[in-house]
Amino acid sequence: MRLPSLLLAVVLAAPAVAAGAPQQTQAGGQAAPDTTASAPPPAAPSPAPAEPAERPYPNFGIALALGAPDGAVLSFVYSPFYWMAADVGFAYTLAPGFVIGLEFQPIDFVVFPVIRGEYGYYFAGNTATYIKNWTNVPEAAQPLIGDASYNWWSGLVGIGIGSRRGFSFKLEGGITWLSLNVKGGTGTVNNIVVTTEPYRFQAFAPTARLVFQYYF
């Protein structure tokens, strides 16, 4: 929100501008008595106090995000314009991964809206092990669950509180399209030899993120 600061600057600058303006003559066009003979020469008008130069928006920052399906993400943020930022982050939940995001902050105010799109990918890591444990897959069927990785696309909107020139906190929510890709395997279940090709779980789901961000 640059308009309020612009208005404020105009209001503050107005008296100074007025002080520098020439004296208006009195009514009737009569000249004021000439007092220059006895009076000391008028002092040169003092220059108007310079408006403090607006500090430029920082271009770089870091962010820590916690959310689903993001997990925990530590990101490097680059913002070429105050209203747009791109981020790339290292993520970790069940396995290491990364998240790439593009975020728009259309207004600069202490409370501001946010629009975000992101893509994330988690490498295989220990995801398959967690799936086996959490879903109580029988031991005989566990070889059918190979390495598992997942990725997602998300669109989010949210609100933020803080400064574009320093620390801010954001809460974002939206929708995500998530794919869990599982490699198949071969196992013997109840005397049946089972071989599975890679299979996939997909979800269209809500998503949420809590972000702490600092521009420097």
Partner 1 sequence: MKTTVTILLAALLALPLSACDSFYVEANQPLACLTLQPQSFNIPVVAVPGGFQGEWTGSTTVSIGDVLPGFILDGPPQDRRVQLVSFGLSLTSGATNLDWLQSLQVSATGSGAPVSVVSYDGGLPPGSRSLNLPATNPGANLADLVSNGNLTFTYTGSAAVPAGSTIPTTWTGAVNLCIQAHVRKTFNQLINP
Q: How many angstroms separate the CA atoms of 37 and 56, rounded?
A: 51
Count other C-beta atoms under 10 Å from residue 152's C-beta.
22
Decide if residue 195 touches partner 1 (CB under 8 A): yes
Question: Nearer to partner 1 by C-beta: 166 or 206?
Answer: 206
Sign of CA dihedral 131, 135, 136, 141: negative
Question: Nearer to partner 1 by C-beta: 36 or 191?
Answer: 191
Give yes or no for a contact between 165 and 55, defined as CB atoms under 8 angstroms apart: yes
Q: How many angstroms separate the CA atoms of 1 and 7, rounded?
A: 11
Decide if residue 8 touches partner 1 (CB under 8 A): no
Return the range that interacts with partner 1 (CB under 8 A); candidates 51-59, 84-92, 104-112, 117-125: 104-112
Decide if residue 205 touches partner 1 (CB under 8 A): yes
DSSP state of 110: S
Question: Nearer to partner 1 by C-beta: 58 or 184?
Answer: 184
Decide if residue 49 touches partner 1 (CB under 8 A): no
Binding site for partner 1 (CB under 8 A): 1, 107, 109, 111, 113, 135, 138, 140-141, 157-159, 171, 173-175, 184, 189-206
